[in-house]
Each structure stands twice: as C-alpha cells, then as structure tokens.
Amino acid sequence: MDQVKENNTVKVNYTGKLSDGQIFDSSEGREPLEFTLGQGQLIPGFEKGVIDMKLNEKKTITIAKEEAYGDVNPALIQEVSKSDLPEDMTPAVGMGLVSKTEDGRETNLLVVEVKDETIVLDANHPLAGKDLIFDLEVVGIK
C-alpha cells in the first residue's frame, strides 16, 4: 500500500498551528495519530489533506475554517447570572467549565467575560472561526 485512499487506516505525525504560528496540538512526543479515512473521526479538511499522500511523505496543508470547526456561532455565547453558579466558584476569564445538557451530554464552556452580576460563557469549539495549518507526515498505511 503506497498511497493513502478512502477506508485506509493511517498513522500520521502532525503539528497543528494557527495562522500566527501558534501551535495548538502536536503528536510530537506521543504516538502518531491513527484513524480510518471516511469514518468521520476527524475534521473534514484533515482527512482530505491526507488522501493520496504516500508513506513517509511530508506536507503542509491549510484547512479553511469551513472544513475545520466552522464559524463562531453567536447562539453558543450566553450570559448567565453568577447566582446560577456553585457558591464556592469564583469565575475568571479563561476558566473552563463543564455543563450537562438536558439530554445528559457534557458541554465544555469557556468564561469569556466576567461582569458584576453575570458571566459570559462560550460553548463554541476553541478553534471555531480559525483557519488551521497542519504539518503532516504519513508513517503508516494499512
């Protein structure tokens, strides 16, 4: 197997960066990322970037936000009363919180603003609204 195709299981070393060069994720120092193409395990742009790569090939791809985590959704940014928080919590900008949805799923929230009586929470993915750059190296194909 010398070229990555749909339904192949591949191993990839990667470094993910923002357009300003800030690294947000990397497999360096860890096992390569292993996934099966076409299973929807990763963002669409990452899978598309790996298709047709050869074993040991390296390349850099840029993934538009639409092929990554999409635009920031304003409906996922909400202001809530501090009285809705546990009494022992002192919210701060940048603090991560976890909330349960009505159907029991957990949602990650980020405190983006603290006001006198309320806080503003953002449930968007931290990389929403951003184009992503990945340095890729295919190290296994099966």
Q: Which pLDDT score is estimated for 81?
A: 96
Residue 13 has pLDDT above 70, yes or no: yes
Q: How confident is the model at residue 98 (pLDDT cuts 50, 70, 90)?
A: very high
Q: Which pLDDT score is estimated for 131?
A: 98
Q: Which pLDDT score is estimated for 1?
A: 59
Residue ranges of the chain that CATH labels 2.40.10.330: 74-122
Residue ranges of the chain that CATH labels 3.10.50.40: 9-70+133-141
pTM listed for this prediction = 0.84
> In one letter, which amino acid is 35?
F
48-54, long-range: CB within 8 Å, 24+ apart, which pairs? 49/134, 49/136, 50/4, 50/10, 50/12, 50/136, 50/138, 51/4, 51/5, 51/6, 52/3, 52/4, 52/5, 53/3, 53/4, 53/136, 53/138, 54/2, 54/3, 54/4, 54/138
Q: Which region among 25-34, 101-110, 112-121, 131-140 has the lowest average model confidence (pLDDT)? A: 101-110
pLDDT tens readout for residues 43-76: 999 999 999 999 999 999 999 999 999 999 999 9
CATH number of 74-122: 2.40.10.330
CATH number of 9-70+133-141: 3.10.50.40
- Gap between the Cα atoms of 35 and 5, Å rounded: 12
Q: Which pLDDT score is estimated for 102?
A: 86
Mean pLDDT (the chain, rounded):
96
Assign 3-class secondary structure to 51-103: CCCECCCEEEEEECHHHCCCCCCHHHEEEEEHHHCCCCCCCCCCCEEEEECCC
